[in-house]
Amino acid sequence: MKIYRNVQDILKNHKGGSIAIGNFDGVHRGHQAVIQTAGNLALKQGLPWGVLTFEPHPKTFFQKEKTPFRLTPFREKARYIEDEGVDFLVVLEFDGELANTPAEAFVSNVLLNGFGARHVVSGDDFVFGHKRCGTVDFLRAKGQELGFDCTSVAQVGGSGGEVISSTRVRELLSTAKPSAAAQLLGHAFEIVGDVVQGDQRGRTIGFPTANLIVDGGMRPSLGSYAIRAGLVGADGVIWHDGIANLGYRPTFGSDACLLETHLFDFTGDIYGRTLRVALVDYIRPEKKFDGIEALKAQIEADCGLAREILANKGPEFS
C-alpha cells in the first residue's frame, strides 16, 4: 500500500479512483464496510482503490483533549487499512488551514484536483469542511454537478443490534469488556510499543515480563488480561499466548502506567523489539498485595485462567 501525505503527490496510476473517506479510528467493522464498499466499486469499474483520512484526529485539534482517546495511533490505523487490501492511503494533516477550508473548496481542491475521484464513499454521518457544512447530501449534489459518484454506507449493527461506533468500542474497553469490543472491531484491541527494561522483579519470581509504556492512546480498564502477544520481526509477526497487567503496580508503587506482559513457555531477550499485545479477556482488577508470595500465588492462578480462556477464543483473537 502506497502512503501519500499530500494530494499533489498522488501518482498518475492512483488517480481517478474509488475513494473511501473518514477518520477511521479503530478501523472497526463499520469502517471496514465503508472501505470495502469503495473496494468493490473499484474492482467492478477497474479503478484504483484508495482511502483518505486525517492526522491528527480532528477531535484532538478542535477540543485539545488531554485524555487520550485514540483507539489506533496512525501506524496501527495504517496497518489495519492495508490489511483491507487498499492500493493507496492519503493522510492529510488536520490543521487550522484544513479546518477552515469550505466544503466546496475541499471537494474541488482535494477530491477533484487531487484525487481525480470517480467515486467517493463515506459513512452516512460523515461531515467535512468549515463549520461541518459538508454533509453526505452536499457531497452527492456536488458529485452530480461535477461528474463523480457518491455512495453513503449506513451504520453497521453488532450481533446484539447496537450500532458499531468508535465511541461504543471505547466504552467497552473502559469497562473491562475487551471481548465485546473485539466483536465490534472485528479484531482484538491491541496495545503496541517497543519493549523497555523494567525493574526485573518478574524474573525473580518466575514470571519475566516484557514491558511497554502506555502513552498516547486510549487506556483500557486497569488490571490483568489474557492476551496474545505478537513479536514483530523482519520475517513477520510471531504470536504467543500470555498474560498481562496494565497499571501502576500498587504493590511496589509507580508513577508510570505500564503493560507488563508475560509470554507463556517463552525464553529470549526481546528488549527494544516491537510487541503487539492483543487484549483477549479481562481477568481481574489491579490490586495491591501484602507481599511477593501473595503476588506470586495470584499470578499463578491468573496464568491458569488465562490458558483456559485462550484455548476457547474465536478467530478475531487468532
Return the active site residues.
260
**CA distance linking residue 68 with residue 65, whole number of Å:** 7
Which run of H or of E encompasses 277? strand 274-284
What one-character-per-residue DSSP string does 165-209 give? -HHHHHHHHHTT-HHHHHHHHTS--EEEEE-B----HHHHTT---
Give the side-chain half-sphere CA count within 13 A for 81: 33
CB atoms closer than 10 angstroms to residue 266: 15
Give the side-chain half-sphere CA count within 13 A for 233: 9
Q: For residue 208, say if its preceding peptide bond is cis, omega within 30 degrees of 0.
A: no
**CA distance linking residue 220 with residue 236, whole number of Å:** 27
Do 250 and 286 meet the contact criterion of CB atoms below 8 Å apart?
yes
Question: Which residues, 6+ apart, have CB-to-CB distance to 304 below 8 Å?
Answer: none
Sign of CA dihedral 152, 84, 77, 3: negative
Task: Show the cell assigned to 299.
Answer: 499470578
CA nearest 98: which of 6, 217, 4?
6
Do 101 and 129 meet the contact criterion of CB atoms below 8 Å apart?
yes
Task: Show the cell assigned to 95.
Answer: 490543521
